[in-house]
Amino acid sequence: MNETLRVLAAGDHFVLPGLITRAVAEEVREQPVQVDELMLGWPLEPFGPVAEVTEASDAEDRLIEALVGAEVLITQMGPVTERVLASTKSLRLVVVCRGGPVNVNLDAAKARDVRVCFAPGRNAAATAEFTVGLLLATLRRIPQAHNLLAGQGSWQGAKYYTYENSGLELEDLPIGLVGYGAVGSRVARVLCAFGARVMVYDPYVHHHEIHGLRVRTLDELLRKARAITLHARLTPETRGLIGARELALLPPGAVVVNAARGPLLDQEALCDALESGRVSAAALDTYAHEPLPPESRLRALSERVVLTPHLGGASRAVAEKAARIAAEEVGRWVRGEPLAHCLT
């Protein structure tokens, strides 16, 4: 009989350790598996930099203790630092249940011959749905109307029925999508189903068929779109992609939605455009600095903005998909097959 495979499921209150355990049990049938569970504090406790890694739970000591004898670590927020890796001689595979292993010291892992995998695409559907939800909420003034009735007890929503303050419909609305990856392509399909006039700008995607009209330049898209949604990856080239110049190209009264990465958008320029009326409304789920600082100008623009605290990927299906994708990588590793999403 094969020796028992030792796995540590260092989950949290989103990707539950039990989800990881069940996914591993379903995927790895070639040999006996012992899964030990560790519960980390996120999201009830904030993540942040830990030693030399980012976006991790401050739990190095707990992880070191739990990793004794483990060959495989599956985690979302565990801090896989130089110190953690140096503490174990048995570890051979780390699988991170997220789109990128920012909580892993890749150089230290490679030096110790520890393979590192991740789970791309786990939240694409959830983020796409959330983006469309933000767009609908913003166009139709849903949060403002809710606050008026539920918060203030007022039925006097008449101002939202005036021509000047009433919202826009998705049907026939020219909407520009900046980016056409896993999220942007899903948003495009949904918006086309609503009857929107979808335009797409993505210089890195060369599909012969897309949902919507491909435009050649970002400026062309901005000049034609009455609403834009951002879906680009954050790179040195895309940081600050939408700034004061770009916002000025939008038709007066346009709407901006960003559920991708906060630094894609110049928030100060957006606030200027909102205050001047050049942009009529915006919806944001991500920010240049998170948590959103108390002094942020966005907080004073509640009549014009919808703000959510980075919840685009918060669905039960995302947690289940993340655990399944991670377990599939463990299965490939056990069977000696090529790993699908591996960086070391």
Q: pLDDT tens for residues 52-64? A: 999 999 999 999 9
**222 and 98 within one domain:** no
E-only strand ranges, the chain: 5-11, 33-39, 48-50, 53-56, 72-75, 93-96, 115-117, 174-178, 197-201, 213-214, 227-230, 254-258, 279-284, 305-307
In this predicted structure, what is the pLDDT of residue 323?
Answer: 98
Q: Say which amino acid occupies 152.
A: Q
Domain contains 107: yes
**43 and 106 within one domain:** yes
**225 and 191 within one domain:** yes
Domain count within the chain: 2
**134 and 109 within one domain:** no
**129 and 16 within one domain:** no
In this predicted structure, what is the pLDDT of residue 2?
Answer: 66
- Those residues with Cβ within 8 angstroms of residue 338's Cβ, 6 or more apart along the chain or in another chain: 332
Residue among 231, 261, 324, 341 flagged as catalytic? 261
Tens of pLDDT, residue by residue over 171-219, are 999 999 999 999 999 999 999 999 999 999 999 887 768 899 999 999 9
Mean pLDDT value across residues 268-281: 97
| Band of pLDDT at residue 327, cut at 50, 70 and 90 | very high
In this predicted structure, what is the pLDDT of residue 1?
Answer: 42
SS3 328: helix
Active site annotation includes 211: no
**243 and 167 within one domain:** yes
SS3 107: helix
In this predicted structure, what is the pLDDT of residue 157?
Answer: 77
**239 and 171 within one domain:** yes
**88 and 12 within one domain:** yes
In this predicted structure, what is the pLDDT of residue 4?
Answer: 96
Structure tokens belonging to residue 226: 């009455």
Residue among 140, 220, 310, 320 flagged as catalytic? 310
Active site annotation includes 310: yes
Residue among 26, 237, 290, 303 flagged as catalytic? 290
Mean pLDDT value across residues 141-162: 87
Instruction: Tell me: pLDDT of 248 over 70.
Output: yes
Domain contains 238: yes
In this predicted structure, what is the pLDDT of residue 229?
Answer: 98
In this predicted structure, what is the pLDDT of residue 66?
Answer: 98
**112 and 33 within one domain:** yes
Domain contains 341: no
**262 and 155 within one domain:** yes
Residue 291 maps to which CATH number?
Answer: 3.40.50.720
What range does the domain containing 193 cover?
124-307
Active site annotation includes 65: no
| Band of pLDDT at residue 160, cut at 50, 70 and 90 | confident
